[in-house]
Amino acid sequence: MESINPAQEAKVWQRVRGNPPEEQTLGKLLAMEAECRQICQYLQRNTHLRDSRGLARLREECGKFYHILLGMASVRGLDVTVSAPPAVRGNPEGLLRQSHATRQRAIALLEELPPEDRKLLKPKMEEHRLSILELLGQLPRK
């Protein structure tokens, strides 16, 4: 009997069952990372936070998370497509709050990934969430 490549097997089962849960989860997480990165880019270009090292670090981390998630999908042979992130506009506080809420949803969504992946990503995402809170706390109060 001929053996089948695991990537081919995953694609066959995807057609039979629809998107596997892990593929859906990685797709959602990738979309969230793209949104967070878009928010950081907007804040760096259009607000007084443009020179913030913390914001630059957040943007870099979003890019790293995005590529790590793509790598996870690639290792598993999953076909994850990510739509373009939504256009971003708003005040710094509102955008940072949105980014924080997105990060919290991403951390909750990690529970759907295998334990070894969750262990790798969760501590870093928690640190990222704390960095967003720190940046939010540094904004001038009215």
Residues 94 and 61 sit within 8 Å (Cβ to Cβ): no
CA distance 9 to 26: 19
At 29-83, the pLDDT tens digits run 999 999 999 999 999 988 888 888 989 999 999 999 999 999 998 998 888 877 7
Note every long-range contact of 55-59, with CB atoms under 8 Å and residues 24 or more positions apart, other chains counting.
55/135, 57/131, 58/99, 58/128, 58/131, 58/132, 58/135
CA distance 10 to 19: 10
At 88-110, the pLDDT tens digits run 888 899 999 999 999 999 999 99
The per-residue pLDDT for 11 is: 59
The per-residue pLDDT for 13 is: 59
